[in-house]
Amino acid sequence: MMKNLQSTTTLSNGVKMPWLGIGVFKVEEGPELVNAVSFAIKHGYRSIDTAAIYENEESVGQAIHTAIKESGLTREDLFITSKVWNADLGYESTIAAYETSINKLGLDYLDLYLIHWPVEGKYKEAWRALETLYKEGRVKAIGVSNFHIHHLEELMKDAEIMPMVNQVEYHPRLAQRELWAFCQEHGIQLEAWSPLMQGQLLDHPDLRDIATKYNKSIAQVIIHWDLQNGVVTIPKSTKEHRIVENSDVFDFDLTREDMDKIDQLNQNHRVGPDPDNFDF
C-alpha cells in the first residue's frame, strides 16, 4: 500500500524502491541543491535520482551525508540512483563511470544504476558492465532509461539479468501505454521523469476541475495518477514548498472516471528527445 513517502514497490529481484522520490535534473552543484536534497530527506523523502551528466553528484552526496548526520538515518534508509552517460557506454568505460559516480557521491554502493540512453551498438556492452557491478553487490538493482520496447527486446536477447527498472518520460500527454504493458508483462518497474511535463500541464482546465474536486493542486493530481498507475515518480524541485506539495499525495485516491479522464489527455507528445532519434 502507498501510505507515505517511505512506501515502496518491490523490484523483480526483491529490492524495495520508494514510489516517490526527488529528481535533480539541471540543478547545478552548490548550496541550492544541497539544501533542497537535505530538506527533502528531512521531510521524509528517501529516494534521490541523479546522473553523471547532471554534473551535480558531489552536491547530492554532500546533502546525503549531512542528512544522515542530522537525522539519525542510515545509508540503508536511502535509495540513491545514478546513470551512466552516453560517452561512457562500453564495458570498461561503464565500470570506470560507475567508480567516478560513487566517488563523487561519497558512497560505497548505489541502489540503482541506469543506462541513460539507448545508444545503438553501445548499450549491450554497458549492460554487461552493469551485470558485473550487480553480481559484485556494488549496485542493488540495475536498469535502463529512455528505452523503447524494441531496445528492451534487443537488450533482453543477450542479457543474463533482466533490467529491473525503465525510467522514461511519462505524463498525461505521453502515457506510453504499450511500453507500460510490456514492462508490466516482463516485471520491469516503469519510472517517470518529467511527470509534470516541465510545468506545461499545470493550467490545464480538465486537470484543474479534477484538482478542485479533491482539494489538491494539479501537480498533486498528476503525481497521484502516476502512482495509481503503478509508475514510480521523481518530480524535480528545489523549492521547499514544492518539495512538500509534491509529496502530499498519499491521502486520496482518484476515481476510475477521473483516471480515465486524465488518460484521455494522451497525445503521445514528448517534451524531451525521442529515444529513436537523439544525437548526443
Fold of 8-263: TIM Barrel (3.20.20)
- 63-120 pLDDT, tens digit each: 999 999 998 899 999 999 999 999 999 999 999 999 999 999 999 999 999 999 999 9
Sign of CA dihedral 183, 188, 189, 195: negative
Average pLDDT over residues 180-200: 96
Domain ranges within the chain, ordered by starting residue: 8-263
Nearest Cα to Cα of residue 250 among 44, 75, 82: 44
Phi first, then psi: give them for residue 199, nearest 5 degrees.
85, -5
| 259 vs 94: CA distance, rounded Å | 40
Alpha carbon of residue 180 to chain centroid: 15
Residues annotated as catalytic are: 54
Better-predicted residue by pLDDT, 26 or 205: 205
Q: What is the pLDDT of residues 144-172, one digit of tens each?
A: 999 999 999 999 999 999 999 999 999 99
Inform me whether the pLDDT recorded for 238 exceeds 90. Answer: no
Record the pTM.
Answer: 0.97
The pLDDT value recorded for residue 107 is 97
Q: What is the pLDDT of residue 29?
A: 75
